[in-house]
Chains A and B, each alone.
Chain A
Amino acid sequence: MATEKNLKHDELIHIGPEMAVAEADVMPVETGRFVHGTSLWRDAWRRLLKNKLAVVGLVVVVIVTISSIVGPTLIKRIFGFTPDYIPSHDPRLTQSFPPFTGPDGEFSWAHPMGTDNAGRDQLARVLQGGQISLFVGILSTFVSLLIGVSYGAIAGYVGGRVDNVMMRIVDVLYSLPYVIVVIVLLSMFRSQTPRGQLILLFIAIGSVSWLTMARIVRGQVLSLKNQEFVLAARATGVSNTRIIFRHLVPNTLGPLIVYATLTIPQIMLTEAFLSFLGFGVQAPLASWGSLASDGIQNIAIFPWQLIFPGVTMALTLFSLNFLGDGLRDALDPQMRRV
């Protein structure tokens, strides 16, 4: 008996995360239609590709991401501008030019998005803004995912008193007007360096967004906890940690991905408006939010200073949202759309 247990032990873990999925592969569904052996993910991917809007969104997001990453370097190579380069050697150039215009009003390829009041190239700045916004968005989401998932999974799995206490804490934290507290936090602890400020931003944003993640995961774990495959794993002696992280968590991936796709744009917006208000990214770094804030000053005379960062941001968020919608539909067509 003991040796048999050990044998099955490994097999079980190996097919552990897929066990809930494999059910669909192995057993025909009662409607009389035989399910072709596809995994949940392949099915979802297929559905996603069918959704044209989502595909367009995906393409745009990829384009924006790539441009943000390589753009500034390319521009430096071709034109010699960095996002914070001020052409202080020539007073004629330290002013705001409209797109594609040179110092004498002639057509020029140098600044497709124009320049700001100090002569800095807008395109480079917008791309840097993209770097920062996407960076903050994705990384913060990732961090809050890590914290939220662990917290929620443990709370849900252990249950009982521990779960109660953990969720009480979440409830209290949830009811705090967190943006207010975040603003206080950021205004109090302004860092000297732009890098430092970015890190503060991470901490501030990330420390709040994990709450909902934790709630979702906990809910999922609670409902999965008593399903048969968990009992089976337990019966063969799989350790608790393993059960949580190898078996339960992968099965919560669906709603998690969905929530993550909602969170990234939200975080990007939060970072943007914090920077807009002056609490986020500091000069000389440029974030879309801070660019917009600068741009508003001169909106009457140099509208392109606001319009380009604004439109780029809107476009990116637009695409992210379509992609998110598409992912939601693909992963669970029955789910309520918001």
Chain B
Amino acid sequence: MLRFIVRRLLVTIPTILVVISITWVLIKLAPGNFYSGEKPLPAAVEKIIREKYGLDKPWYQQYGKTMWSIVRHLDFGTSLRYQGQSVNTIIKRSLPVSAAVGLLAYLLALIVGITVGSIAALKQNSKWDYGSMALAMLGISVPNFVLGPILVLIFSLELYWLPPSRWGGFPSLNLVLPVLTLSAIYMAYIARLTRAGMLEVLRSDYIRTARAKGLSERDVVIRHALRGGLMPVISYTGPALAFLLTGTVVVERIFALPGLGNYFIQASLNRDEPLIIGIVAFIAITLLLMNLLVDIAYAYLDPRVRYQ
């Protein structure tokens, strides 16, 4: 197991470097640059700017310099647009915002989704089952950028219960709508996954054995069925986190939250090379680590799984 973890971590590093390199290449290939505005700059000014930021050097030198400072000091440089602020600082500042919304959203999705899905499985074909699955279907079908504003419309602008947007620190009521918006689709997905997983497990032979042993239905479900039934949810966590990321981007835009996603979009629009690379690298690392955690959790929970 340990060897497996170490091997995965080792593979992560080159993958990140590949990701960074690809991003770097894309940025360099793109037309336009971070300093151009509406009117073209006078040639002399442009030359000075290019010299200052080392953009006049040959590409392999630029690439080398960038990669070296990343690998050596984990230094992603200074933002080109946000004067004087190092990329690392910006990431440190915006990360808690995204993390708070993202993690809360997923936690909510897990709690509600697993509960609803389990009950739907236990009461298969009842009104509860049909109703909750229909609702889940709705959750999957309504895009978050539609749901969000509608929630704002109802709860902020009509009912005045909640603030419409902006970051209010943690914890605050400002969190409610973004978290709800982000979590909706995952709640729905997890509910369906849980239901499917539970139904399958409840049909299996070892549940029949458990019942033949005289266990109460409650014990059968909680002690025997739940473990196996939740497996699909666990494996879903990996891809879910990837999607969560993109969802965060949209939600941060809608609710004007100063999170990683928002900064990323801005950086892309601004051609802010160091910031783009920094955020991309950070996201890639997080994703890979999270996937590793999920794999470890899976191995821990299913004794049949053995990694070499």
CA distance A248 to B146 in the complex (A): 42
Check A94 for interface membership: any CB of B closer than 8 A.
Answer: no
Check B283 for interface membership: any CB of A closer than 8 A.
Answer: yes
Q: Are B245 and A177 in contact (CB under 8 A)?
A: yes
Stretch in contact with the other chain, from A15-23, A153-161, A302-310: A302-310
Q: Find chain B residues with CB under 8 A from A276 CB.
A: 145, 250, 253
Given A180-B280, A313-B146, also A273-B250 (CB < 8 A): yes
Q: Find chain B residues with CB under 8 A from A2 CB.
A: none
Q: Are A296 and B254 in contact (CB under 8 A)?
A: yes
Q: Find chain A residues with CB under 8 A from B232 CB.
A: 336, 338
Interface size class of A (residues with CB under 8 A): 35 or more
Check A299 for interface membership: any CB of B closer than 8 A.
Answer: yes
- Count B interface residues, CB 8 Å: 53
Check A24 for interface membership: any CB of B closer than 8 A.
Answer: no
In the complex, what residue of chain A is closest to B253 when comparing beta carbons?
A277
Given A188-B32, A189-B30, A310-B146, 19 more A-B residue pairs with CB atoms under 8 Å apart are A180-B264, A181-B26, A181-B280, A183-B268, A187-B268, A273-B143, A273-B145, A278-B269, A296-B149, A299-B152, A303-B153, A306-B150, A307-B150, A310-B142, A314-B142, A315-B141, A317-B143, A322-B137, A338-B192
Check A300 for interface membership: any CB of B closer than 8 A.
Answer: yes
Q: Find chain A residues with CB under 8 A from B32 CB.
A: 188
17 A-B pairs with CB atoms under 8 Å apart are A181-B19, A188-B27, A188-B268, A189-B30, A273-B143, A273-B144, A276-B145, A277-B250, A289-B143, A296-B149, A299-B153, A303-B153, A317-B140, A317-B143, A318-B138, A336-B197, A337-B192
Residue-by-residue, is A278-306 near B (CB-CB < 8 Å gives 1, otherwise 0)? 10000000000100110110011001001
Residue-by-residue, is B107-150 near A (CB-CB < 8 Å gives 1, otherwise 0)? 00000000000000000000000000000011011111110011
CA distance A189 to B27 in the complex (A): 9
Check A59 for interface membership: any CB of B closer than 8 A.
Answer: no
Check B86 for interface membership: any CB of A closer than 8 A.
Answer: no
Residue-by-residue, is B199-210 near A (CB-CB < 8 Å gives 1, otherwise 0)? 010000000000
Check A185 for interface membership: any CB of B closer than 8 A.
Answer: yes
Q: Are B264 and A181 in contact (CB under 8 A)?
A: no
Stretch in contact with the other chain, from B49-57, B171-179, B284-292: B284-292
Check A175 for interface membership: any CB of B closer than 8 A.
Answer: yes
CA distance A273 to B246 in the complex (A): 9
Q: Find chain B residues with CB under 8 A from A78 CB.
A: none
CB of A116, distance to nearest CB on chain B (Å): 15
Q: Are B27 and A306 in contact (CB under 8 A)?
A: no
In the complex, what residue of chain B is closest to A322 when comparing beta carbons?
B137
Given A172-B15, A336-B232, A338-B196, also A317-B246 (CB < 8 A): no
Please tell me which one of the listed residues B19, B245, B246, B276 contacts residue A176 in the complex, with CB atoms under 8 A apart.
B19
Please tell me which one of the listed residues A172, A295, A300, A303 contacts residue B18 in the complex, with CB atoms under 8 A apart.
A172
Please tell me which one of the listed residues A175, A181, A293, A336 contacts residue B196 in the complex, with CB atoms under 8 A apart.
A336
Q: Find chain A residues with CB under 8 A from B189 CB.
A: 338
CA distance A179 to B195 in the complex (A): 29
Q: Find chain A residues with CB under 8 A from B26 CB.
A: 181, 184-185, 188
Check B5 for interface membership: any CB of A closer than 8 A.
Answer: no
Q: Are A184 and B276 in contact (CB under 8 A)?
A: yes
CA distance A188 to B25 in the complex (A): 11
Check A82 for interface membership: any CB of B closer than 8 A.
Answer: no
Q: Are B284 and A317 in contact (CB under 8 A)?
A: no
Please tell me which one of the listed residues A277, A336, A337 contacts residue B249 in the complex, with CB atoms under 8 A apart.
A277
Check B101 for interface membership: any CB of A closer than 8 A.
Answer: no
Check A272 for interface membership: any CB of B closer than 8 A.
Answer: yes
Q: Find chain B residues with CB under 8 A from A263 CB.
A: none
Q: Are B146 and A180 in contact (CB under 8 A)?
A: no
Q: Find chain A residues with CB under 8 A from B142 CB.
A: 310, 314, 317
Q: Are B245 and A179 in contact (CB under 8 A)?
A: yes
Q: Find chain A residues with CB under 8 A from B192 CB.
A: 337-338
Closest 7 CB pairs of A and B: A188-B30, A310-B146, A317-B141, A187-B268, A318-B141, A314-B142, A337-B196
Q: Find chain A residues with CB under 8 A from B279 CB.
A: 180
Q: Find chain B residues with CB under 8 A from A315 CB.
A: 141
CB of B269, distance to nearest CB on chain A (Å): 6
Q: Find chain B residues with CB under 8 A from A292 CB.
A: 143, 145-146, 149
Check B48 for interface membership: any CB of A closer than 8 A.
Answer: no
Check B297 for interface membership: any CB of A closer than 8 A.
Answer: no
